[in-house]
Amino acid sequence: MNEDTVIKEFIEVLRKAPKVALFSHVSPDGDCLGSMLAIGRSLENLGKEVIYYNPDPVPKNLLFLPGVSQITRQLPALLPEVLMFVDCTDLGRVKLTKPDIPKANTVLNLDHHISNQAFGHINWIDEKASATGELALSLVTLLGVEIDTDMATNLYTAIVTDSGCFQYSNTTAQTHRLTAQLLDRGIDLANIHHHIFDQKPLSQIRLLQYALNGLELYAEGQLAVMSLRAEDFHKSGAEQELSEGLVNHARSIAGVEVAILLKEIGVKEIRAGLRSNRWLDVNKIAAQFGGGGHNRAAGCTFMGPMEEAKLKLTGAIEEALKNGRNY
């Protein structure tokens, strides 16, 4: 099925549906929440009933997003016939499995991750997009809904966060063209950036201290690793969500190609965030351990002690670095 056919079917399903449930991934970020909220508002403008679901709390710096109070952490007893997953590589990213989805339901999958498992009945996946927010903007436009300031605020947040404020390599000319449309809607740029980038809780700064205290360099300085244990979160007073983005401090070290943040999120459960600078495909690394993401940003989860996870990951990355760009 070519892309035009996929998009056409996507739109047709949404137009016919009287009620739609929207899902976004665990550890929610600006892209999944902003995209979901903008799509939901557009569907509401078309007279449809919308359920917004995320299994985790909304990060404090994203509580300013218009419509965020509508997001629930409780799945409805009876799901509507149309289920749309936003920015989710697989059902596990919403803490669901295939048996949780009634066979009669239609599953729509909107995403930009190269590692997406195409688990929907209709899969609109564009790994060239800097953010799912780009696809969400196209979707809203194709639905024929006029983008208001609230939708534009959500969509801008989606794009600016996942493009690293337009610094990441996934930023394209199309990214800027779409963003310009949102600026034309009169969004409060200063307020958005203030909430997302300028308001860091003291507990997050303390958490960064613990992460930097354990900083280790491997592969002649090409690999930087930071680790956070459960006690670090407890001592700093920081919630898990506040570790988002800390890995970039390690990535910014001169000479580093790959950075890792390992964090203990449960009893012998370690989540790894991987970032690369110029050439190493960390999606391939994460895939070796059941994870995925993008070429320059990916993640995976290990069941076992921190040191074991670190040993496995550093070994795989050192091997990839040794093989160079032929990896």
CA distance 218 to 256: 9
Top pLDDT among 327 and 197 is at 197
Mean pLDDT value across residues 51-56? 97
Q: Are 212 and 228 in contact (CB under 8 A)?
A: no
Q: Does the domain spanning 203-326 belong to CATH 3.10.310.30? A: yes
pLDDT at residue number 318:
96
CATH topology of domain 3-197: inorganic pyrophosphatase (n-terminal core) (3.90.1640)
**Average of per-residue pLDDT values in the chain:** 95
Mean pLDDT value across residues 24-49? 97
Residue 325 neighbours by CB distance under 10 Å: 9
CA distance 285 to 288: 5
- Two tokens at 162? 């996942």
Domain boundaries, the chain: 3-197, 203-326
pLDDT in tens, 111-147: 999 999 999 999 999 999 999 999 999 999 999 999 9
Residue 38 neighbours by CB distance under 10 Å: 32
Side-chain-side CA neighbours of residue 200 (13 Å): 14
Please enumerate in sequence order all residues whose Cβ is within 8 A of that of 77, keeping only pairs 6 or more positions apart, or say none.
Answer: none
User: Is it the case that residue 327 has pLDDT exceeding 60?
Assistant: no
Instruction: Identify the residue whose tokens are 């949404």.
Output: 14
Q: Are 5 and 106 in contact (CB under 8 A)?
A: no
pTM of the model: 0.85
Mean pLDDT value across residues 195-200? 90
